[in-house]
Amino acid sequence: MEKKFSSKWKASTKPRKQRKYSFNAPLHLKGKMLHSHLSKDLRNKHGKRSIRVKVGDKVKVMKGQFRGKIGKIASVDLKATRLQVEGIEIIKKDGSKVAFFMHPSNVMITELNTDDKNRMKRLEAKK
């Protein structure tokens, strides 16, 4: 299969082409794939359903083996479209702990990191 990016792939219903689209997408489009749902009170406050995750946002895990856990985002991997939440680790067979990465669609933002003034300004402007 050719590796070049084409915006026509997202119109396809084939899972193989959708995976290829997300894998080969340029970084400015991969950033849009890093959006996560907002909690009800944040949704009402800002008038948006989802927003891009950032380090320092407080999130609640909605799916997977860590469902219900709450923590801050420790790191965000743009190229792999995944994030790591503080306090969520997998214990390996030898007893060592390893960070667990998850997709942004599996978490819900409960509290925003207000350090980025431009981000907050953009949110207020959308009202």
Nearest-5° angle of CA 123, CA 34, CA 23?
Answer: 150
Fold of 35-125: SH3 type barrels. (2.30.30)
List the beta bridge partners of residue 52. Answer: 35
Amino acid letter at 55?
V
For 3-38, give the DSSP string: ----GGGGG---HHHHHHHHHH--HHHHTGGGEEEE
What integer pLDDT is reported at residue 5 of this predicted model? 74
User: Hey, where are the domains in the chain?
Assistant: 35-125
Residue range 8-19, pLDDT digits in tens: 767 788 899 888
C-alpha–C-alpha distance, residues 106 and 61, integer Å: 6
What integer pLDDT is reported at residue 21 of this predicted model? 87
Residue range 45-91, pLDDT digits in tens: 999 999 999 999 999 999 999 999 999 999 999 999 999 999 999 99
- Confirm whether pTM is higher than 0.95: no
